[in-house]
Structure formats: C-alpha cells, structure tokens
Amino acid sequence: MGWADTSDLIPRGWTCGYCGNRVGGTSGYYRNSFDPYPMSGAFDESMIYICPHCEKPTAFLVSDNGAVEQVPGPMEGSSVRGLPETVSALYDEIRKCVQVGSYTAAVLASRKMLMHLAVGSGAKPGMTFSQYVSYLDEAHYIPPNGREWVDEIRKRSNEQNHEIVLATREDAAQLLDFIEMLLRFAYEFPARVRRK
C-alpha cells in the first residue's frame, strides 16, 4: 500500500524498532517549517522515516539541546532461535519493556522467565523463585562463573518484587543479557545440534 504524500529526506540509517533490521531510507515526513535538505546536511529537525523493510514509521525527535531520540528505539537484546512459543512471547515482552523504558516490568517479567526456564528444564511447578534459580544452577544451566549473577538476580528480583524500589535501565539490561545467554544455552544451541 505505502504511505501517502511522503517526502524525500536526508538519507538516514537506523535499526528499526519494529522489525529489528538495520535499514536506511529517505522516505518520510517533516514539518512544514523547515528545510528537509539543510546546507549542513545535519539532522537538526525532528522527522519521521518509513522503514523500507516493514514500512512502519520511526520518529527522530530533536530536543532543545540537540539530542536526537529514536521512537520506537531499537529492540533491546538479540533474537534467540528454537524457543517454545510461550517462552518466545515472554522473551519478546521483556525486550519490549526494556525498549520503552519499563524497567521494573522487565525485571519482574525476567523473574517469571527464569521460572519458565526452570520448569521447562525439569523443575517441578509450584516451587519458590529461589528454588527455581537454585535448580537452574544445580542442573548446570548456569555457567561455572555465573554464581555471582545468580545471587544478584535473587537480590534484585526480591527488591523489585517485595520492596518499593524501581528498577533501573542497568538492572533490566543486565538481567536481559543473562536471560538471553540462558535461552541460547537451553534452547538455541540444542536446536542447532538437532538440525545437523
């Protein structure tokens, strides 16, 4: 179908927050009050670009101090192959929470992901969160030097779940990195071996 009445803009590259592809484009929208082709070639005005891959709009908003914010920003984390449908949906939910700045929600969903991962790996349903994390460790899903990570996850998850504390971007990003590693170890790598 396409977008109506788009303009040619300064060429820009970005990682699309919808499809995750690294793209470049010149098609989009600008305000009537500025020159879409400034002499400097700089991006000094807010513009909306259309992704040439998925055709969804991405805004590049310029603040008064000149900082540019991409909305939606790139999805955090990387895709992991071979995930069961429910695990994949929850992982994407965590990534989207981090993407939009919902860090406490990302940490709480990460806690749930660890529970899913433990049960999917053989733990009994109905255990406590701490028991699930211990199960993952004892079943060798956590690397030998990962004990510090496990203790940090327990601590942060308890803070966010039982106290009036908000998670930070760093909290959510570290947990997302850890979960991505566990998912690769538990699902993606075994799926690759089975395909050979």
Distance CA 84, CA 110 (A): 16
Which stretches of the chain drop beneath a pLDDT of 50? none
pLDDT given for residue 134 in this prediction:
86
Strands 22-30 and 57-62: unpaired
Report the Cα 63 to chain-centroid distance in Å: 24
**Tokens standing for residue 61:** 């908003």
Are residues 104 and 178 located together in one domain of the fold?
yes
In angstroms, rounded to a whole number, what is the distance separating the alpha carbons of residues 57 and 68? 16
Domain span holding position 42 = 7-71
Read off the DSSP letter of residue 172: H
Which pLDDT does position 45 carry in this prediction? 83
Position 122 scores a pLDDT of: 93
Evaluate whether residue 78 is within a structural domain.
Answer: no
Residue 14 lies in a domain: yes
The predicted structure's pLDDT at residue 43? 59
Total domains present in the chain: 2
